[in-house]
Structure 1
Amino acid sequence: MRQFVVVLSVVAAFGTCEAARAGSLEKSLMKLDPEERAHQVCVVKGLDTVRRDKRLSQADRLMPDTFKRAAFDGNVVSAKGAAVRSNKHWYQLKFDCTVSSDQLKAIAFTYELGKEIPPDTWEEVGLWK
């Protein structure tokens, strides 16, 4: 979990400055084991992708392991129990994300948006406002 926060902090600190973000993000990612690295690049790619959806244009968090641990097989991360937060609401999410062989880049991200997660269950599954 601590490593997860480090990587997302790097992304947040650099915002849209792509060159700085890429260099610092890569250095942070190299400190992680390959599976965790794959999960992290998928979170970053996932947020970029879902924000293009009108329903999720305000997305600011993506949690791949909310209801079930995301699986990493070959170069694919499959999350059947993920969640995404947009405009202070959490939604169920399923996604598949293909990563490069070094797990430093997400190449493809497809998703299926599920139902809104009721606020009275957030604490139980590790979500927050």
Structure 2
Amino acid sequence: MEAVTPSPDVSPTIQAKQFFSAEILAHPRSRQALEGLSQLAADERIVQLCNLEAMEQVHRWRNDFAPDSLVAYATADVLLAGRNLRADGAAFRSKGRWFNIKVGCDVAPDIKSVVRFEFQVGDEIPESEWEAHFLSAGAKTQ
């Protein structure tokens, strides 16, 4: 694999000052998601909670992004140490297009909320690479 120089579109690392996943999961329309989350093993709950946080953080950072899916292990394995997650090879889908993202996330001891979060959005992932990273096409919307 050849080295790729990041484009000027790569964002600086954003340190979140507010966290949103617990609020989203507390909403009545998230009841089914919250129940599903409670059935998962602790490490998978951490991944899913951080994925949810990442999608909301990206949208609030730039509202022209509307993330509807996130794959934490798209181009690299997730590193999980206790309740601390590092996903340098994650990808999120917005409006039918996939983008690289790096995520750092720490969750509370009860694994119900995020207590630290940072992210860095990278370049768009070419459609020719989606299949190799198991990224689904989804609906293309503008």
TM-score, scaled to structure 2 = 0.71
Distance 2:25 2:82 in 1: 31
Query: Which residue in the other structure is 1:77 paired with?
Result: 85
- Given that 2:101 and 2:120 are in contact with CA atoms closer than 8 Å, whether structure 1 keeps it comes out as yes
1:106 aligns with 2:114: yes
Query: Which residue in the other structure is 1:64 paired with?
Result: 72
- State the 1:50 CA deviation: 0.6
Aligned residues: 114
- State the 1:128 CA deviation: 1.9
Give 5+ residue unaligned stretches, structure 1.
1-15
Query: Which residue in the other structure is 1:39 paired with?
Result: 47
TM-score, scaled to structure 1 = 0.77
Bigger Rg, structure 1 or 2: 2
- State the 1:26 CA deviation: 3.5
Over 3 Å counting, the alpha-carbon distance change for 1:95 and 1:17 in structure 2 is closer
Off by >6 Å, runs of 4+ in structure 1:
none
| CA RMSD after TM alignment | 2.0
Further displaced range: 53-62 or 114-123: 53-62
Over 3 Å counting, the alpha-carbon distance change for 1:114 and 1:121 in structure 2 is same
- State the 1:55 CA deviation: 6.7
Return the match for 1:125 from 97, 114, 133. 133
Over 3 Å counting, the alpha-carbon distance change for 1:103 and 1:126 in structure 2 is same
- Given that 2:25 and 2:33 are in contact with CA atoms closer than 8 Å, whether structure 1 keeps it comes out as no
Over 3 Å counting, the alpha-carbon distance change for 1:105 and 1:24 in structure 2 is farther
